[in-house]
Amino acid sequence: MNNVVGGACAILNFLEEGDHLAVVTFDDGQDVVSDLKEVTPLGITILEQKLKLVDEDDASGGSSLHDTIVRSTGVIMEKWRSMRLASQGAAELGVFWLIVMVAGADTCSARSIRDAAEALRALAEVNRQARAPMVRACFLGVGMTDQSHAALEFLATSCGNIATVLRVTKPRAVHPAVVALLNKMSESVNRAPPRVVVQVAG
């Protein structure tokens, strides 16, 4: 299995009922594997099967990372606005996680890296408005060149202190890196409200 897709499956297994999840995969375009919805055991099983099919069919070699980040941050912003209208306070909203896993530099996005960075800055603004750590972002680069990873670090920096960027050079290290990351992110927030996770795998 593709190492990035394997990491995405590890995230699925970490979630609990009541969490909300959207999954977007990308190569030279984007495929919404799952719209944002509440997690169920059956839904997780179906998503794992879909991700494996995406893995088997992926042969383009392209990467529309910037376009996908803009799209995924939009999903979080829309969900946050709707939840905020229905909630009495930030504590009831839960925590939004954007998890981006990528194995190469962007090659074919219509959007620029600065467009993606601007979209990510909007996530940091959510924390400022809520006066609480509402959003967390993580960027996991798998087997990337120094130049490609530097671009990923630039995107993570755009989020300010809400972001973590990891570099994994060995394929077999992807799964344990994802598990350790999820445990760290989970410990850093109050787990009581549902998490809203938008994961991007390329």
Task: Summarize pLDDT for 86-133 with one digit per residue, the tens.
Answer: 665 555 556 788 888 888 888 889 999 999 999 998 888 877 777 766
Extract the tokens encoding 118. Answer: 């601007």
User: What is the end-to-end Cα distance of the chain in Å, rounded?
Assistant: 13
Predicted confidence at residue 26, as pLDDT, reads: 75
Extract the tokens encoding 88. Answer: 């009495």
Q: How far apart are CA 202 and CA 28, in angstroms?
A: 10
- Identity of the highest mean pLDDT range in 39-43, 48-52, 147-151: 147-151
Map residue 34 onto helix, strand or coil.
strand
Predicted confidence at residue 190, as pLDDT, reads: 52
Task: Summarize pLDDT for 45-97 with one digit per residue, the tens.
Answer: 877 777 777 655 554 567 888 998 998 888 888 887 777 776 655 555 567 88
State the residue for tokens 């941050």.
Answer: 73
pLDDT > 80? residue 25: no
Q: How far apart are CA 149 and CA 3, in angstroms?
A: 17
